[in-house]
Amino acid sequence: MPSGQRSPVVIGAGPGRSQPPEMGHFSPQLRLCAMTPGDLHSAVQSAFNNGDVDSLVDLYEDDAWLFGPSGPVQGTDAIRGVWNELLAMTGSLQMVTQYVVEKEDMALLSNRWTSTIGDDELSAVTAEVARRQSDGTWKYIFDNPDAAGILAV
């Protein structure tokens, strides 16, 4: 690698990879001071399980894309609508980071999520792209919770 370039940082499951923070232990203080792109998964899980749509929407850039159950939407107003629909189902969410590849101010992420709603369980694998913000936090620019399309009707 040429001098002065950073190699990509990879976290997730597998040999030689560091593990992301334990899910469900994300705090707003962490987001304000020492956030890594993998912290997005903890933040989503925590906000979803607490029914906190504002915290969910805060994880997206203003013109981000979310590939929701009814198709892709762009912008935080539309993203808020998708999250409100999902939160109305009153389920719980568990997320396991599959990988995070960070290069400069961009990151490619994936997690395997499972949502339990009553006796029903849904699960899928994501494809996500996030960008480091000027304050050091990370926000989604693309979020596809069903990258393989297995939940498509």
- Residue-by-residue pLDDT tens, the chain, 153 positions: 444 444 444 444 444 444 444 444 444 444 444 589 999 999 999 999 999 999 999 999 999 999 988 899 999 999 999 999 999 988 899 999 999 999 999 999 999 999 998 889 989 999 999 999 999 999 999 999 998 877 755
Where b means 16+ CB within 10 Å and e means fewer, 28-42 reads: eebbeeebbbbbbbb
Structural domains for the chain? 19-144 (3.10.450.50)
pTM of the model: 0.78
Task: Tell the residue number behind the tokens 């590939």, with chain if given.
Answer: 67
Instruction: Report the distance separating Cα 34 and Cα 97, nearest Å.
Output: 18
